Structure 1
């Protein structure tokens, strides 16, 4: 067996490394890529977590990652970007670029061969520091669709097995949604909504009232300016992300096949009233292309959303005014939300201590029950969530849900009024 590690630099630089650690005491550098390498000129600060997967169109495992973060985004309002505007797919063993999509100032076009190709995309002009989400449509262990989000409020979809074929020269990239500003594309000098975390994708089957779709869910928020909303004098920075109204979106991608452009691509989803439903204060009825929920002033999504047992969990932070009577650290108000992705109804928990809650983590744990009173030892499985908050939308999350690191039990409802129960045993 072999074991590889893939390392990124975040703000440390524009590099990505691959190490062979099959022999832990003698690690070997497999390859290194930077923006100085041919084909990787668009690589920005390497923030996106490189993820390994298998695809039909390439024999070796591949590594997929966003092109990275552009430090120009630190400015308010952001200046024109020059890096990070794309998606890379490389051979995980050799580091050879198999496919990429990157910004072009000209017309969009794809070119290449069955082993190496690239797409120049005119609308992909914002950095992609978030991870890339995979979809395995036919459950064969190989990824056939990618979803990505950028700091311009756009959501992108890449089909790896379209009608024309599954080799890199046939892969197709399309824009699913433009949510940066009210009508999609923002005016020059205006900061858009930013997506720093990947979409959470749930495959939804057809019902008697609706067809099948991919529920693509993500929240906006400038995580690199998490605790600042206004100037010290209370005025708003003109055109900056401090004054952006952030939202959580549930988008319906109805192109559930392997080719989103066949027979024709769907219109780009925007938040106009004819495209998305405003479920901030009204229950969503399943219409249009999905819905959004507007956060409070200054509130922003600061982690990745996770869906489990029909509930979507995510966290936010909202700056709070400093107290003139206290010298304690002010980390803002942190909330953990539990959202019904089909109705738009939600519940939340205000986490103690504030700050930036980490992405909720779900899993299954086996609990061993020792032998007692002549009964043999047994075990039971329990599903759990760390950092979910929100009460699960009902009361199914037990445990310490007031902490962003608290664990809750998703296995069964916890009664609010506990009563003693008696039974007779022969």
Structure 2
């Protein structure tokens, strides 16, 4: 019910109730209060003393301050039968901050129709005043409106029965042991030794970190979903607890299996999602039913903490990395046919939760197989940090190396060093300052770049670089420049604000496979003394675009923004004394050797560009930024308001370049912001849209007669930290009964749709998936 219809959006009330006293005669009243609180979207608390009453009131206030939000970009399905199009399905990861170990999370499905996010009732689902879902919205898979309530509906509501003795019980797996041979991955469905049940002899008290049989069984059954703590306050504990952990930084991935050759089915698909309860989930996209879930053996010891769910600070992480999918479709027909040699492998890591990466063979969507796990104990990975970097899947040919037949390779940064938690500049990091190439099937390290002076010699990188002294938590941007299917170029930034370029010589041995070095140093590494203001860090991958402009040589534009993702509230007013506010920037660096392969001697001779070498385009004169001459290093945009102090505006997501426009989001903490940027009022988000050529506004976003700096951005409605931009290229016609959409005709055209989280972005309204091109021909004679 909307209590204030005259106000924008829907105004609701959440009801919390407290039962005070321990008289047995109050049981009926307490049960009624619990039901009232559940119906009112709140929670019931039972207490019998003053301390308990204080705790209940504190928890209620804490819950009121929580907000449901999303931090990762939504996941869209690429049409397996026409990879130039995306399907209308949209999968959004949501979470709710908590003061306890477990943060509630969910994955919800919506549809994008004519540029509007719709629920299952074909009604607009997003409240334009909040940028999040309206309370009246009913996502797909949900039996009733679930709106902005994280714990209602969605995939969490479709988790099967916890009791393994019942038909259709939940399929929850683990694997305890060493990596199997690559040719024989472990079928998790074939043995009790891979099932997370109380009867699995390998899941011992020691593995779980408990001391009694009761604690052992309760921990496992709670992990399976039994409502042992009566979370819904209905007095029944031997029932299903419909709950998921939070996918805070993890973006799900969709695989379209496509049915069979004789009966193609675009709805034959699964979505994979990882959470900070330590689960990799697989859900059927048609009904949200959980097909299975997997918990790595390294995380089994944390299940008892999830069961206890005690107050925890700082936030606890488990599987916090995004998922990447290798779909090897031999004949390219869009259908996963194992008999034809097709293969599907899912890769995921701990993110902020640890230093491991995992590979699961999911060629058969209901029969997962454990392929491998790698981490600091793996040969060649001793320098790995927290696995924030999502692997890029590519092909690289390493002469003399034992590789899979298709040369599939994972490329990722060395990760995050927790020493970077401090606001001051780190002279060097002890982990994460590496780049790795790992065989996608075997899980073996085939190449690495790292610092000089590594001991022992067996741990030394193939490419030792004196400037590689800072962690690389970013994804690595990998390019196939000549279109032969093999990687040719890499770009990445690091925690010192350095921008790296590498060239790959396929067919070479490991020690001469790659040449590279720093092309720009945009932080304070080369300053003397180092300054807090210039302690800029790159957490997100560069956005690389090929650019041509009349009068200019072709170049790769490398767009990247700095921002202290580890502490997003840095810079909030009032500034501390001494002032440690970082003065963040957005950069567009020009690489004028886009197609040239440089040798290591060329890199060693390069002059490294610095912040002062770039043209500052922040100020507009008569609506025009300073000119960018041919041969210029690039431009920079300072993230402050001219005439005012720095307020902590920062870039916390990768940018996207489309149609010669760069789109990126920023986050600015509010003055005296909460210690948690996920709470309401904790900050503001902007979407910038600027020209790739000179950073000028590309639209009249400020609705003024003359172009001003305010035309570069528009304020987003959503709270928390907004993700980057996701592009959708809708199919002109939709699938019917699972059949692939019909082929596109020359007259078909649907506008491109772009999103930040659940917010449709108006700046993309003029983008088109195809543009008319006109040219004239003249006789050469």
Is structure 2 residue 662 aligned with structure 1 residue 312? yes
Is structure 2 residue 385 aligned with structure 1 residue 385? no
CA contact (8 A) 1:154 1:180 kept: yes
The verdict on how the C-alpha distance between 1:2 and 1:276 changes in structure 2, with shifts beyond 3 A counting, is same
User: Residue in 2 aligned with 1:411?
Assistant: 768
Deviations 1:252-284 (A, max 9, x none): 111223423488333111112xx3111111333
Deviations 1:131-186 (A, max 9, x none): 11011211222220011111110111111028xx64433211211111113x8456
The verdict on how the C-alpha distance between 1:323 and 1:204 changes in structure 2, with shifts beyond 3 A counting, is closer
Is structure 2 residue 618 aligned with structure 1 residue 280? yes
Q: Give the 3-state SS of the residue equivalent to 2:499 in structure 1.
A: strand
Q: Give the 3-state SS of the residue equivalent to 1:334 in structure 2.
A: strand
Deviations 1:95-117 (A, max 9, x none): 111111112248xx9x99xxxx7
Larger Rg: 2
Q: Distance in 2 between matches of 1:146 and 1:185?
A: 26
User: Residue in 1 aligned with 2:437?
Assistant: 89
The number of residue pairs the alignment matches comes to 374
Give the one of 336, 344, 362 matched to 2:695: 344
The verdict on how the C-alpha distance between 1:388 and 1:6 changes in structure 2, with shifts beyond 3 A counting, is closer
Q: Distance in 1 between matches of 2:760 and 2:343?
A: 40
Give the one of 664, 669, 682 matched to 1:331: 682
Q: Give the 3-state SS of the residue equivalent to 2:352 in structure 1.
A: helix
Structure 1 length as normaliser, TM-score? 0.79
Is structure 2 residue 168 aligned with structure 1 residue 168? no
Give the one of 97, 103, 108 matched to 2:451: 103
The verdict on how the C-alpha distance between 1:186 and 1:385 changes in structure 2, with shifts beyond 3 A counting, is farther
User: Residue in 1 aligned with 2:543?
Assistant: 200
User: What is the CA distance between 1:89 and its match in structure 2?
Assistant: 0.5
Alignment RMSD (CA, Å): 3.1
User: Residue in 2 aligned with 1:271?
Assistant: 611
More strand by proportion, 1 or 2? 1
CA contact (8 A) 1:72 1:78 kept: no
Is structure 2 residue 726 aligned with structure 1 residue 361? yes
Deviations 1:231-261 (A, max 9, x none): 8x642455x4xx1111010001112234234
The verdict on how the C-alpha distance between 1:89 and 1:283 changes in structure 2, with shifts beyond 3 A counting, is same
Q: Which has the higher contact order (CA 8 A, sep 6+)?
A: 2
CA contact (8 A) 1:60 1:93 kept: no
More helix by proportion, 1 or 2? 2
- Is there any run of 5+ residues in structure 2 with no aligned partner, and where? 1-341, 620-624, 641-645, 698-711, 735-746, 770-781
Q: Give the 3-state SS of the residue equivalent to 1:381 in structure 2.
A: coil
My pick for the range that moved more, 68-77 or 315-324, is 315-324
User: Residue in 1 aligned with 2:417?
Assistant: 70
User: What is the CA distance between 1:76 and its match in structure 2?
Assistant: 2.4
Where in structure 1 do 4 or more consecutive aligned residues deviate above 6 Å?
none
Structure 2 length as normaliser, TM-score? 0.45
Q: Distance in 2 between matches of 1:355 and 1:283?
A: 34
1:118-197 → structure 2 map (5 Å cutoff): 118-161=462-505, 166-170=508-512, 171-181=514-524, 184-185=526-527, 187=529, 190=532, 192-197=535-540
- Is there any run of 5+ residues in structure 1 with no aligned partner, and where? 370-377, 390-398, 413-426
Deviations 1:158-216 (A, max 9, x none): 11028xx64433211211111113x84564585720011000001124x5522121111
CA contact (8 A) 2:723 2:757 kept: no
The verdict on how the C-alpha distance between 1:234 and 1:249 changes in structure 2, with shifts beyond 3 A counting, is closer
CA contact (8 A) 2:425 2:530 kept: no
User: What is the CA distance between 1:387 and its match in structure 2?
Assistant: 2.7
Is structure 2 residue 582 aligned with structure 1 residue 222? no
The verdict on how the C-alpha distance between 1:350 and 1:230 changes in structure 2, with shifts beyond 3 A counting, is closer
